Each structure stands twice: as structure tokens, then as C-alpha cells.
Amino acid sequence: MAKVLLTSGVSQQFTDGQTEIDIQATTYRQLLRELDKLYPGLGRELSIDTAVAIDGEIYQEPYLESISAGSEIYFLPRIGGG
């Protein structure tokens, strides 16, 4: 299973404060679907308002990325630039 790590703000809003979640998924899209099943609205929120780090590499558009059983997925607030 992949380990998903959430920020405290998102976890308070959707998971009652749980910041670490183990999810069975092989792709980023599947991961979002599984998170939505467990916590309705979480997958959509994460796809809109966050960047993601999969095994230490940060992605702004991760939709085609693979996830392995031992992956760690961190969701990070997007940083605006100018």
C-alpha cells in the first residue's frame, strides 16, 4: 500500500485530523478516486489546490504518474509565482 501524507488543514477538513492514510493504488488518478471513496470531496480538493510529491519528486501535474506499493505521497500547498 502507498502511504499518503496530508497537511493538517486538509486533514482537519476531510479526515477528522488523520494525516497519514494507507491506500491501495497503482496510479495517481486511482489514488484520488480511492481517497474520494473514503473521504468524499478529498480527491477533488487535492487535485485542485495542491502539488504532490511522489517518492520525493514534486509534480504540478501528476495525473500520468505511477505509484508503487511502497510509495510515499505528500500533498503540498501550491506556491503561486509572479
pLDDT in tens, 3-35: 999 988 889 999 999 999 999 999 999 999 999
Contacts of 53 (CB under 8 A, 6+ apart): 59, 73, 74, 76
Amino acid at residue number 63: Y
Q: How far apart (Å, rounded) are the C-alpha atoms in residues 70 and 8? A: 22
Q: What is the pTM of this model?
A: 0.87
Q: How far apart (Å, rounded) are the C-alpha atoms in residues 13 and 60? A: 22
Q: Domain segments of the chain: what residues?
A: 2-77
pLDDT tens per residue, range 60-76? 788 889 999 999 999 98
Superfamily of domain covering 2-77: Beta-grasp domain (3.10.20.30)
